[in-house]
Homo-oligomer: A and B are copies of this chain.
């Protein structure tokens, strides 16, 4: 049931079977069909979510009905709305499945307890957050510095697996350009 999660944890930290069982004792497995929501704008997000299988997106919908993708996540990534989790305020973001997915959920109070009980787990979590922060700094830098074409090439280079797996219009939205612009950009850079 939690094989992928176990493999992930073993690849980063060493846990005894007891510790792993302790973790899974508070974990639940959620299966999502394509297009199903994991979280909807306005609800409070209370979990740490680890993706065992599939692919999700985090996004908002604005007044005009346009979607803006904040992030993608696939196998062995964590997802959710950190701000809502941290503050307890209603989420600004939706999370839904791009493909049928399997998500490990651990409610915040349980998660926090585990962090206290298992220091290496805690260290791992902090390391992940720190790296996420660095990654988002780099994304900001790309966003304010690059042209549409540069943004796309940078994205493909950084996340080649996303580039083939995720519909282009969602990638466009992630990059902050329209689907039409991305289509044209791809056409131009294909020739080079």
Q: Which chain B positions have C-beta within 8 A of A139?
A: 140
Q: How many copies are assembled?
A: 2
Given contacts A86-B130, A129-B129, A133-B132, contact A68 B141 (CB under 8 A): yes
Interface flag for A34 (CB, 8 Å): no
Are A68 and B176 interface neighbours, CB within 8 A? no
Interface residues of A in 18-53 (CB under 8 A from B): none
Question: Is A14 in contact with chain B by the CB < 8 A criterion?
Answer: no
Check: A11 CB closer than 8 A to any chain B CB.
no
Other-chain contact of A70, B70, B129, B141 (Cβ < 8 Å) = B141
Main secondary structure of the interface of A (DSSP, over half): helix
**25 pairs from A and B in contact (CB 8 Å cutoff):** A62-B145, A68-B141, A69-B144, A70-B140, A71-B137, A82-B130, A82-B133, A82-B137, A83-B137, A83-B138, A86-B131, A86-B134, A92-B141, A126-B126, A126-B129, A129-B129, A133-B133, A136-B140, A139-B140, A140-B143, A143-B144, A144-B173, A144-B174, A144-B175, A144-B176
Residues on A facing B (Cβ under 8 Å) = 60, 62, 66, 68-71, 82-83, 86, 92, 126, 129-134, 136-141, 143-145, 173-176
